[in-house]
Amino acid sequence: MLRALLFELEDTLTRRDPEDGLALASTTHALLDALRDRGLALGLVAGDVEPAELAERFDTVAPAPAEALERLAVEPADALYVGASAAGLRTAGGLGLATVQAFWFRADDGGEPAHEAFTQMDVLNVADRLARPD
C-alpha cells in the first residue's frame, strides 16, 4: 500500500529559470498539500534545496532515494518516485519503487517508468490509484 512519495527536485517540483534560478511550479504547493491530506509521507531527493521554503514542505530531504526511504521508515514497495531524469528513474526502479516520469518541464529520454505524468496533478491520480487497497 502506498505510504510515501519521493520527488526529484529539479524539473519535477521546480524548473531552472535563466533569470531567477530555480522557480517553483505554480501547482507544487497544491500537489504537496493534497498528498499530505491523504496521509502520505513526502521525501525530497536532492543534495541542496533551493528555494529553501520548499524543504520545509517535506518530511525528509536526502541525496538519494534509498536514504530517503530509510529516514521515512518506508519499504520501497510502499513508495512512489516522481522524477524527470532517466538516471533517477532507473535508480528508484532498481530499488523497487514504482516510478512516475514527470513530463511537465522536461524529461530525459530513456526512462522506463511505470507511470507517466504530464501535469503535477497527474501524480495525484497515480497516487490515488496506488493507495487503494487491492
| pLDDT at 99 (0 to 100) | 96
| 60-93 pLDDT per residue, tens | 999 999 999 999 999 999 999 999 888 999 999 9
Query: ∠ CA 11-100-37 to the nearest 5 degrees?
Result: 90
Give the count of beta carbons closer than 10 Å to the beta carbon of residue 111.
Answer: 21
Cα separation, 92 vs 114, whole angstroms: 11
Coil, strand or helix at 67: helix
The residue-averaged pLDDT of 6-21 equals: 78
Q: Please, is 18 exposed, middle or buried when counting C-beta atoms within 10 Å of its C-beta (0-12, 13-18, 19+)?
A: exposed
Confidence of residue 10 (pLDDT cuts 50, 70, 90): confident
| 33-54 pLDDT per residue, tens | 999 999 999 999 998 776 677 7
